[in-house]
Amino acid sequence: MIQKKIKILFTIPNFDTAGSGKVVYDLVKNLDRRFFNPEICCYHNRGAFFKEVEKLNVKIHLFPFAINYRPFITFPFRLIKTIHFFRNNKFDIIHSWHWSSNFSEPLAAKLAGVPFLYTKKSMGWGNKAWRWKTALSSRIITINSDMKSFYSGKTLEKVDEIPLGVDTNFYTPRIKRDKALLKKLNINLNDFVIVSVVNLIPVKGIEVLINAVIVLDKPNIKLLIVGSDKGDYANSLKEMTQGLSSIQFLGKKADVRPYHAIADVFVIPTLELGEGLPVAPLEAMASGKIVIGSNVSGVKDILHPFSNCLFEPNNVKSLKDCILNIFDMSTEEYIQLEKEMRTRVETTYSIESFIKSHTNLYKEIVSQN
């Protein structure tokens, strides 16, 4: 007898940025099509990465799967459209990658009779909407060790911790630095290069990293900031670094691997609120790079075996000392740490482990319904 494929709808607002959009892309790409029939739903088709998503050759719906509550008087009527969309497409599971606490999506899924799960991507919590969203969900996926504290009692029984994964065949160590790229960036072969790949928003704490580099005051230390450099926060950072040739904002890059290749260390200086589980440092570690990061949720999980690579959040001196620790390492210590970081990703954050855990969870959900 031919086994019916499990039809899963992955919902995500957009693919404008490659963060969780890339994670959804990897998940859909690597699911075994003998057992699964994945589809995607998002609000629009803008963004360069959407072109890559289209190459997955899966059905993509452009539909507002989560709606505003207001005006309350029309909310039930607007929700009916979402209920019909979920029911008419006969999905077996809806897996939401929406960052918001908006509970209209799981409510519509509940009324359509479709099991709903969401991945908790950030450390935001506390409002009633999160509790309603959780109560309406069949399962919840957390991605770091601190998130389980959000849930208690019977709710905790619905929670599965599945860390994000990266493709260690795509992100892999490169032996030689790209001399042409170094020349273009006016960096010498023997300079000590710090790289941060980051979405420039205040919680990322890039001003702490900039101040640490300024305090270090070493001409051969160069800082490269890769990521969208638009907006008020980015502009304020550029004002801080005006006239400093050792700090460069490179803008958003479709492929960050060439910048991993020229880096001596990768820094993620997130502030106290913390992260869900940042993918950028995992990609750098998979590329054989040493990563140092602030001791906050998400980051501390990744760097758990490497306590010397964690610094106090929002503490310039602590970050400066952490950088100097890497700067002063012997060649043997440095190479060994690079290898250990790569191994950490291979054993704990590989795409293979990520896919296997999701596969098992999806099959379990279907078997219970």
Q: What distances in angstroms separate CA 226 from CA 61, 73, 247, 263, one per listed residue?
A: 31, 45, 11, 12
- Tokens matching residue 193: 């290069």
Prediction pTM value = 0.93
Q: What is the pLDDT of residues 324-368, one digit of tens each?
A: 999 999 999 999 999 999 999 999 999 999 999 999 999 999 999
Between 313 and 179, name the one with better pLDDT.
313
Give 19's pLDDT tier (boundaries 50, 70, 90): confident
d(CA 228, CA 251): 5
Would you say residue 75 has pLDDT above 90? yes
pLDDT: which is higher, 103 or 1:
103
CA gap 206, 193 in Å, rounded: 16
Q: Which of 43-52, 113-122, 313-322 has the lowest mean pLDDT?
A: 43-52
* Residue type present at position 244: L
Average pLDDT for residues 192-205, to the nearest whole number?
95
H-type alpha helices, 197-330: 206-216, 232-240, 257-261, 279-286, 299-302, 316-327
Cα–Cα distance for residue pair 275/271, rounded to 1 Å: 9
Residues 192, 220 contacting (CB under 8 angstroms): yes
CA distance 70 to 143: 31
State the pLDDT confidence band at 95, using cuts at 50, 70 and 90.
Answer: very high
Peptide bond into 71 cis (omega under 30): yes
Q: What percent of the chain has pLDDT over 90?
A: 92
Check residue 47 and give its pLDDT: 82
Q: What are phi and psi of 227, to 5 degrees?
A: 150, 165
Instruction: Tell me the three state secondary structure of residue 7.
Output: strand
Look over the chain and give the mean of its residue pLDDT values, rounded to a whole number.
Answer: 95
List the domains of the chain with CATH numbers.
Answer: 6-165+350-367 (3.40.50.2000), 179-348 (3.40.50.2000)
pLDDT in tens, 238-275: 999 999 999 999 999 989 999 999 999 999 999 999 99
User: What does the pLDDT average to over 209-236?
Assistant: 95
Whether residue 237 is predicted with pLDDT greater than 80 in this model: the reply is yes
**Across 4-18, 57-71, 237-251, least confident range:** 4-18
Q: Residue 353: how many CA atoms within 13 Å on its side-chain side?
A: 14
Average pLDDT over residues 35-58: 94
**pLDDT of 3 above 80:** no
Query: Residues 26, 27, 33, 36: what is their CA dihedral angle, to the nearest 10 degrees?
Result: -160
